[in-house]
Amino acid sequence: MSQGGGQSSAVHSQVAIWGDALRATLPALLVGGACLLGLLVNYLVFHVLAEGFSIVIALSALMVASTSWRFTKNHFLIYIAIGIGWCAVLDVVHTLAFKGMGLLPVDGANPATQLWIAARYLQAAVMISAPLFLRRAVRMSYLHAGYGLAVAAILVLIGSGAFPDAYIEGQGLTPFKIYSEYLIIVLLAATLILLWRMRDLMTRQLFITTSVSIVAMMLAEFAFTRYVSVYAGANLVGHLLKIVAYWFIYVALVERTLQEPFHLLDSAQQSLRESEFRWRFAIEGAGDGLWDWDVPSGRIFFSKRWKEMLGHTQGEIGDGLDEWEKRVHPDDHDRAMAEVTAHLQGRTAQYVNEHRVRCKDGSWKWILDRGLVVERDARGQPLRVIGTHTDITGYRAAEAKFRGLVEQTLVGVYMLDGVDVLYVNPRAAEILGYVAAELVGKPLLPLIADEDRDKVLQFIERINRRESRIERVEYRARHRDGKTVIVGSEARLADVAGSPVVIGVLQDITSRVRSEEQVRDYVARLEHSVLGTVDAVSQMMDVRDPYTSGHMRRVGEVAAAIAAEMGLHEHVQRGLRVAGAVHDVGKIAVPAEILGKPGRISDIELEMVRTHAQEGYEVLKGIDFPWPVAEVARQHHERIDGSGYPRALKGDQILLEARVLAVADVIEAMASHRPYRAGIGLEKALAEVERGRGTIYDASAADACLRLFRDKGYALPG
């Protein structure tokens, strides 16, 4: 049902537009009829009337455009009106030079015909370039100068005989004149196509009016191609159509630049009345009181809600300024009046003040009072001020409670406006050795140690860019007594009274940092002690089997390098270096004759060698390493597919450190010399790792190893 109604409305709208267009045509038809009456006298009378009417219309359009361009944004119509106005200048000279007029020293019909075709060329140029100004503004001075020069150039060309002949006595129109008419028709048709493509930039009525004008121009030019004599019907029709074409340009211009602004003004006034009703309704509905002050008379309209907010009924408060002023708390009165005066004098963008107002029962309410001058006289004096009253008593109570909590908390709280201290609670000031009043309003950076100022500035910049919800930083601050305090801070950006402010908490972490440093020192000393034990074990193995000792050290270095390539933590890398240095310690239980035996060993001897993994675990499990060294030693011969020993573990059952060490062990063992064989070489060792990637050896460890040696040129330790 609504769709049918919409279609019906659209049909009625289009009918109305075309009806307006037909009514607009009537004056042009009446003018045309008056011109035809001139034929009863002679053709010259008709010609003067027809040209005169079109010239008057065109020049009127030029005058309207020149005087009203500031009131309209439709530079498209302004451009056309100025253009056809200058065409009319050529038409004036054409009319005066017409054969039989005897007003100018011309010979024959050629000059008048040349002026005619030159004017039509200029007219076509105006129309085809006009769509450019649907998106662009025009400069009036440039338009008049440009068209004025064009008209002057045409007159000079025709007067000097440089313009092509358009009419030859005894022969009639020249081919130049006839083909020019067709070319002008083509240019006007192209203009119609451009307007159609850009029709979304125009109102439907403007598009129709302009299109009708262009069609009339095209028909007029076509009629003139049928010119056989000045008295022929085609010539008469052409002149009448020219009147219609110019008339529609004038109608469009007047409607868009003169009538429409007044319609818009009426609409604006109606919209203003409606919007005033809406905002008053909205403010009252939101629970705020409304006041409207007529400054010259001193009378104020106080809304019903304004009065109810203070406990009064409608008739208990008058309309004088004193009704508000006498109720303001004495401690707040002078500050509130100063804010009012500042805004009335134009020194502030708006009036905003928080003050207490006495209620009917004698209690006090906190009010957020806001106002704005909405009307001033010619001298800038305020005439009308509109404002609102918002009850913020609850907010003030909550603020006081919150402030009490913040003031008493054991955590430092601060607010920054840029790099200036906006607020600090007592605890934040105490951390730095001050009282709060000594820091508020002061710059932050002098409180920061020189070497950490850039860090703090970057911290504030990250907050202002909102890179994350909360930013954290630790830095050294200057205590009032000159000592250094290490503080930790978390902060974020918040809106306070409409302005972005950094709000954060502050803690003295000096003791914690000192404790952490002591722990790190203890761990370093412990690691040093552990590494001393490892060195002792390595030296013991070195005495018994120099090949095994050198092998273990190198495996540890290679394993740590592979772990670094994999991106594992430095703690893991250190653990692998230690585990590598002792992973074959279990070979102490294998007879030295077997370990150093040249040539192939028997199956029984091989089984004895394989016991070293479990034996190594038994030796190392009693030592309290900070890494799983004993388990890595037991698992370093396990394989991803379960083919390893001593427990045939698979995949993730094997520690990551053991998987890394297994790759390093294979690389070093195959590439280095042994008592029973010469070194096979690094490339063959890498090929073995590549072959067993994902089946025998851990894929990520194998990839890191291959990158390390092949892409980054890592070399085995000496």
Tens digits of residue pLDDT in 299-356: 898 888 888 889 998 888 888 888 899 999 999 999 999 999 999 998 998 898 999 9
CA distances from 419 to 414, 443, 448, 495, 497 (A): 12, 6, 12, 16, 18
Q: Are 425 and 436 in contact (CB under 8 A)?
A: yes
Range 669-678 contact pairs with CB under 8 angstroms and sequence separation of 24 or more:
669/551, 671/716, 672/550, 672/551, 672/554, 672/716, 674/547, 675/547, 675/595, 675/596, 675/597, 675/598, 676/597, 676/598, 676/599, 676/600, 676/601
Most confident among 65-74, 408-417, 539-548 (mean pLDDT): 408-417
Instruction: Count CB atoms within 10 A of the CB of residue 64.
Output: 19
CA dihedral 190→193→197→198, nearest 10 degrees, is: 60
Q: Are 79 and 138 in contact (CB under 8 A)?
A: yes
Q: Side-chain half-sphere of 610: how many Cα atoms within 13 Å?
A: 14
Per-residue pLDDT at 231: 57
Question: Distance (Å, rounded) from C-alpha 597 to C-alpha 585?
Answer: 18
Give yes or no for residue 284 having a pLDDT over 70: no
Q: What angle do CA 197, 203, 30 make, to 5 degrees?
A: 105
Q: Are 449 and 477 in contact (CB under 8 A)?
A: yes
Question: Distance (Å, rounded) from C-alpha 435 to C-alpha 445?
Answer: 17
Q: Which of 490, 482, 421 has its CA nearest to residue 459?
A: 490
pTM over 0.85: no
Give yes or no for residue 155 having a pLDDT over 70: yes
Give yes or no for residue 525 having a pLDDT over 70: no
Give yes or no for residue 549 having a pLDDT over 60: no
Question: The tokens of 415 are what?
Answer: 């607010």
Give the model confidence (pLDDT) of 2-51 as tens digits. Answer: 444 445 444 555 555 555 555 666 677 777 677 777 677 777 777 777 77
Q: Which of 379-383, 518-522, 616-620 has the lowest mean pLDDT?
A: 518-522
Which backbone phi and psi does 640 adopt, to 5 degrees? -55, -40
Give yes or no for residue 118 having a pLDDT over 80: yes
Question: Distance (Å, rounded) from C-alpha 41 to C-alpha 43?
Answer: 7
Question: Distance (Å, rounded) from C-alpha 302 to C-alpha 309?
Answer: 11
Give yes or no for residue 402 having a pLDDT over 80: no
- Beta-carbon contacts of 315 under 8 Å, excluding residues fewer than 6 positions away, are none
